[in-house]
Amino acid sequence: MQQNNLPQVEVNNVSMRFNLSQEKTETLKEYTVKLLKGKLMFNEFYALKNVSFTVNKGDSVALIGRNGSGKSTMLKVIAGVMYPSEGSCTVHGSIAPMIELGAGFDMDLTAKENIYLNGAVLGFDRKYMDEHLESIIEFSELQDFMDVPVKNFSSGMVARLGFSIATEVKADLLVVDEVLAVGDFMFQQKCMKRLEGMLADGATLLYVSHDSQTVRRLCNRAIWLDHGVKRGDGPSDEVCTAYEEAMEAGKA
């Protein structure tokens, strides 16, 4: 795993604020009228609060924490899916986002058609996808289902196809959110080996998972988020151990 001091990701005092309505409105018309009259009350909710960190090229970093701690929100900010309410996030190089696998699929199209569609969404032309089609199909192990509409796929099959497309792209930064839960055990191990191979080739990884064993295997560093605040940052084994002990003590 190659590492150097050149930054791949720079997160500076990032906060993400959401406004949660205090009142129940039955219709869009009622909501709009109250909003225009200034009668709609909100509670502010911070998914992230002044979070800062830098990830260097070739590094592999996990974001850990309980559900609702801000991990996935942070990944979406880094991937450019969401813009922070405050602060800034700068990414140097290309990104392969594996956050919601299959989110860009048209469920009425076949698997093969969706490979080309998803490739276009990721910025690759038809020629590139032609060259990589067989590799994507082979890795997904969905050879017998290429002409089947994706709406007839199980969620695991959709995730397999999405992972196969996303990891065919030779990106500088991998942004991965719990995608190793796809398929059966053997396919999970296959996915793990592909990620390890990409890391060995110098890719940078940002990874969200609740599986401490996988975090320790894939990542040399972990950042612990707790209610949107950075609570720990250091070697993955040390931070995972601190998080696990806090969970057992009811302090996380």
Mean pLDDT to the nearest integer, 103-124: 88
Q: What is the pLDDT of residue 1?
A: 47
| Burial profile 132-159: b = 16 or more Cβ within 10 angstroms, e = fewer | bbeebbebbbbeebbeeebeebeeebbb
Number of alpha helices (DSSP H) and beta strands (DSSP E) in the chain: 8, 9
Q: What is the pLDDT of residue 116?
A: 93
All domains of the chain in start order, with CATH: 7-248 (3.40.50.300)
Mean pLDDT to the nearest integer, 41-51: 81
**Dist. CA 179–CA 88, nearest whole Å:** 26
Output the CA torsion sign for 24, 30, 31, 34. negative
Helix (H) / strand (E) containing 65: none
CB 252 within 8 A of CB 69: no
Between 49 and 39, the more confident residue is 49
Give me the DSSP letters along 107-153: TTSBHHHHHHHHHHHTT--HHHHHHHHHHHHHHHT-GGGTTSBGGGS
Structure tokens belonging to residue 32: 């709009």
What value does the mean pLDDT of the chain take? 86
190 pLDDT higher than 80: yes
Q: What is the pLDDT of residue 99?
A: 80
37 pLDDT higher than 80: no
Q: What is the pLDDT of residue 166?
A: 84
Please count the other Cβ atoms lying within 10 Å of the Cβ belonging to residue 93: 13
Mean pLDDT to the nearest integer, 73-91: 93
Structure tokens belonging to residue 236: 């993955």
Helix (H) / strand (E) containing 180: none
Least confident of 22-26, 44-48, 90-94: 22-26
3 pLDDT higher than 60: no
Mean pLDDT to the nearest integer, 72-92: 93
197 pLDDT higher than 80: yes
pTM of the model: 0.82
**Dist. CA 3–CA 59, nearest whole Å:** 6
Mean pLDDT to the nearest integer, 46-51: 94
102 pLDDT higher than 90: no
Q: What is the largest CA-CA distance in the chain?
A: 58
- Residue 97's pLDDT band, with cuts at 50, 70 and 90, is confident
**Dist. CA 137–CA 147, nearest whole Å:** 12
